[in-house]
Amino acid sequence: YVREDEIFDILRACHDEPSGGHFSVKRIAHKILGTGYYWSSLYKDVKRYIKRCDPCQRMGQPTFTNEMPLQPQVVIEPFEIWGLDFVGPFSPPSQGKEYILVCTDYVTKWAEVQALTNATEEAVVDFLWHRIM
């Protein structure tokens, strides 16, 4: 049984927190059920919560029509192929840094990270030149 005053906190934790992901009604409801919580208006409450979520309304439903197809990578040597990705923007920024560049080796899973002011091509080149090469 879930008390009325706990519902908002459960919805916020499963939707807004970093592990939440701002996913769809179905995924958030499934996540809530998977944690052992249930109440009779669960789906209705999740739907209402997501409709009031500012980031979800701004971004809309994600589409995968322009997504690049995944290609298998054959990697033999450590530090031969790296994966790069930006995380952010973070609000409020910490010391003016809004993004984190994450660079991970495919074989060893070794990660190098750096906080950055901007997510730009120049920042990536500088990072690779000074931290990876």
Share of the chain above pLDDT 90, in %: 23
Model pLDDT, residue 33: 92
Model pLDDT, residue 78: 85
What is the topology classification, in CATH, of domain 82-132? Answer: Nucleotidyltransferase; domain 5 (3.30.420)
Per residue in 42-101, pLDDT (tens digit) is: 999 999 998 888 887 777 665 555 566 777 777 678 888 888 888 888 877 788 888 889
Amino acid at position 79, single letter: F
Query: Global pTM?
Result: 0.47
Share of the chain above pLDDT 70, in %: 92
Own/partner pairs for 23-29, CB < 8 Å, 24+ apart? 24/50, 24/61, 25/50
- 101 forms bridges with which residues in the sheet? 86, 114
Is-contact 34 10, C-beta < 8 A?
no
Domain ranges in the chain are 4-59, 82-132
